[in-house]
Amino acid sequence: MCSLRGVILSGIALAVLDILHGLCTTGFYTYKLIMHTFYLCPLTMPVDLCHNKIYIFDQMFEYRVYIGIGEGIVEVFFAIFYIIALAKHKPSLTWVWLMKSFAVIAINIYYLASWLIRQGRYEHINWEQSQDENVFIYAAEGLTLVQIVIMILFCLIGGIFTYKVVEERTASRRSLRHRRHYADASAPPLDYDEEEAQYLNDALTNSEKTLPARASKQSLTDISRADTFKHSTGV
């Protein structure tokens, strides 16, 4: 069986892969935003084609670009949170990562379906469809497939990690109960009577008194009386 340390290292490696996935997502959509803002239309493109290209981009890809940038940033945040949960041995927090994974897959599937459904809606408009729309479709398909693979590996590692942590905590609780039981069984009984208990309290509150040695055969009550008589008759 693999150790808990090995499972944590595997989870951290998976989180690093997810961080790279998030950075690629942010990088791709940031690049498309920059291209749309500054370099969407080459200088050689006719004005009417440029207007059509801007219109199609605004209708089909603009919101996806903004969401994609935020999606990549959120992926990095959740991956770092996942690493912290692994290091702290918190299985319940590691499973929060699934929320992000489902959201990313749902967003990509939604936009893929939307692009495929709306493909024929703008056929009457002259624009470079193969150069723009296909890039978005292929990127969304690739990022979605990678996220699905990461999610499958995460569920595998998360299940093993949860089992290992629960097993470790169960063993720790059993060991603690065993130690408490052994300590209670080996502790000596305290069979002081009321007078001896009173003397102990007086000795603890009065610094002039000292406790007698346990080897003495006299009781604490006799020693207390002798000590009182000695102080009352001394010059």
Q: What is the pLDDT of residues 186-214, one digit of tens each?
A: 555 555 455 555 555 565 555 454 555 54
Report pLDDT for 67. 94
Q: Residue type for 164, please?
A: K
Q: How do residues 78-107 score in pLDDT, each as one tens digit?
A: 999 999 999 988 888 999 999 999 999 999
3-class SS shares of the chain: helix, strand, coil, % to 5: 80, 0, 20
Question: Phi/psi class of residue 51: alpha, beta or left (left: φ > 0; alpha: ψ in -120 to 50)?
Answer: alpha
Residue with tokens 């102990």: 200
Instruction: Measure the CA–CA gap between 133 and 140, rounded to whole angstroms.
Output: 11
Nearest by Cα to 72 from 108, 114, 115:
108
Closest CA to 150 of 104, 108, 85: 104
Q: Is 46 helix (H, G, I), strand (E, B) or coil?
A: coil
pLDDT, one tens digit per residue, over 216-231 is 545 545 555 555 545 4
Rg for the chain, CA atoms, rounded: 37
Cβ atoms of residues 56 and 46 within 8 Å: no
Contacts of 66 (CB under 8 A, 6+ apart): 29, 33
Q: CA of 234: how far to CAs of 59, 94, 115, 227, in Å? A: 108, 76, 107, 11
Residue 235 pLDDT grade (very low, low, confident, very high; cuts 50, 70, 90): very low
pLDDT-derived band at 69 (thresholds 50, 70, 90) equals very high
Whole-number average pLDDT of the chain? 78
pLDDT attached to residue 52? 81
- Residue 144 is predicted with a pLDDT of 92
DSSP codes, 92-127: HHHTTHHHHHHHHHHHHHHHHHHHHHTGGGGTTS--
Residue 185 pLDDT? 53
How confident is the model over 6-32, as pLDDT tens digits? 899 999 999 999 999 999 999 999 999
DSSP string, 190-215: ----HHHHHHHHHHHH-TT--PPPTT
- Domain ranges (residues) in the chain: 4-184
Q: Tens digits of per-residue pLDDT, 137-166?
A: 889 999 999 999 999 999 999 999 988 888
